[in-house]
Structure 1
């Protein structure tokens, strides 16, 4: 028989997070996918804040994500901004209301308390979960969506940082944001 222990734990944690979301007064007007999209947009960089990137990150259909993004825009939680170089493309940004909602909801307090209770072991858990995620992404050939500063293209310079893929300078805070072009060090492009 196959050992399902890891699956069982991950599924139970996901169930607890879904139940928590349903109980939040701030979530009364939002679907879980909308919270996921807002959370992604709050953490992604300028290369990754497009409707297509949201679709890829969430692993859902374009239609489903498009409807969710329209609902978020109608609720005043996100806004569209035309791309400066390609007016056909749009970038999605959180409004102040959207940012406030994310700050109020993420991470859930119960998860923060559980992390705190782990003490020093929290760092080990985070490292193991990152390793698990990276392994799954490689095996399943899905986009990495990792932190910019951990990408093989992220180049530290005396005068700041540079994206080796685009050749563009990076602001300090961008190193802590999620990028859809992320490639693990040592990984082929």
Structure 2
């Protein structure tokens, strides 16, 4: 019988990874909360990003997304433009400062992922990714 369950192991890994990221963001003087970082990454990832698409991707309600967008607009990391096909919506874009922030965030995340994989072979990393994807899909059903 294993010493810990899959859930306990995953919980420990997630908290260690999140802690490493928070520390790295702090050391890099990135002043954004994790929710703001996820929102910024979502805007970067979605072509012609609308608040509704962002809400769907981040699994946050529209009110939360609206507050996060407002903060990122105030920090001049994003800008919004009227949606050409829907007068009630806007398209969100990263500003040059937003692109720089995304670059810094990606660098930090790559360093954390490399630290996490120390001592693992490429095959072990591929196995982990494959198994984690299967587990995620099992829970999504």
- TM-score range for the pair, normalised by the shorter chain length: 0.7 to 0.9
**Which residue number corresponds to residue 104 of structure 1?**
104
**1:105: Cα distance to partner?**
1.9
For residues 41-120 of structure 1, the aligned pairs below 5 Å read 41-46=43-48, 49-106=49-106, 107-115=109-117, 117-120=120-123
Distance 2:51 2:4 in 1: 35
Provide the aligned length of Structure 1 versus Structure 2: 134
**Which residue number corresponds to residue 133 of structure 1?**
136
CA pair 28-102 structure 1, distance change in 2 beyond 3 A: closer
**1:29: Cα distance to partner?**
2.4
Unaligned runs of 5+ in 2: none
CA pair 73-17 structure 1, distance change in 2 beyond 3 A: farther
Contact 2:76/2:98, CA 8 A, preserved across alignment: yes
Which is helix-richer, 1 or 2? Answer: 2
Aligned to 1:120, the other structure's residue is in SS state helix
Distance 2:112 2:80 in 1: 33
Distance 1:50 1:99 in 2: 18
Aligned to 2:88, the other structure's residue is in SS state coil
Unaligned runs of 5+ in 1: 140-189
Contact 1:77/1:98, CA 8 A, preserved across alignment: yes
**Which residue number corresponds to residue 147 of structure 1?**
none
CA pair 4-113 structure 1, distance change in 2 beyond 3 A: closer
Root-mean-square deviation over aligned CA pairs = 2.4
2:16 is the counterpart of 1:16: yes
**1:113: Cα distance to partner?**
3.3
Which stretches of structure 1, 4 residues or more, deviate above 4 A after TM superposition?
none
